[in-house]
Amino acid sequence: MDFRDSDTLVGPSGADLLPATAATAVKVVIVGGFGVGKTTLVGSVSEIRPLTTEETMTLAGAGVDDLAGVERKTETTVAMDFGRISISDELVLYVFGTPGQERFWFLWNGLFEGALGAVVLVDTRRLEVSFEVIGRLEDRGVPFVVAVNGFPESPDHPVEELRAALDLPPEVPIVACDARRRDSCRDVLMALMRHLYDLAASRP
């Protein structure tokens, strides 16, 4: 999206979503399995108060949502998370977080509309919850980077072992991440921007 000819983008609450100095806004999406830290990442990196759609988990999800490894989780995103971060005076990223449960994946179509790329957030304790997420991005042809969220009890694997386990091609960046830290999350988004730039530069 290019907002060079407009002053600011004003949301329903009246808050400016795009700073007046910004010339370009880019939409990126944070995806991953259930409980990998997507809402935390969006909240940590956003320079505005993030929009979240977390609801308390109820017995309705019993037998539907796989809580293995995240048994203490009490809330879940049911629509999306939204935040904003200014990379420079002229470039702003709109960051959208997707729901983790497969039963909410029908929302992906709308969330990915207009997105230039994605961050796949993974938890090395539960790599299997990332397989289908990555497959869906590859099917859609969406460029992405993989961010390994470091939980205290997460096993530490060499990058090439993770690449093999996730069946990733060599050109897909894998970066470390602490979803609780703004600087770490910003580095992940910068890695995605560099990846998108490299892809664009490599095209004829």
18 located within any domain: no
pLDDT in tens, 35-51: 899 999 999 999 999 88
User: What range does the domain containing 176 cover?
Assistant: 24-202
- C-beta neighbour count of 122 within 10 angstroms: 27
User: Average pLDDT, whole number, for the chain?
Assistant: 80
Q: How far apart are CA 185 and CA 97, in angstroms?
A: 13
Q: How far is CA 153 from CA 90, 125, 126, in A?
A: 39, 8, 12
In a domain, 7, yes or no: no
Q: How many Å is the Cα radius of gyration of the chain?
A: 17
Measured at the alpha carbon of residue 27, what is the angle toward residues 196 and 182, in degrees to the nearest 5? 85
Cβ-based neighbour number of residue 195 at 10 Å: 19
Report whether pLDDT(2) > 60.
no
pTM value is 0.78
Q: Is 175 part of any domain? A: yes
Count of domains for the chain: 1
Does 110 or 195 have the greater pLDDT score?
Answer: 195
Alpha carbon distance 204, 197 (integer Å): 13
CATH number for the domain that contains residue 30: 3.40.50.300
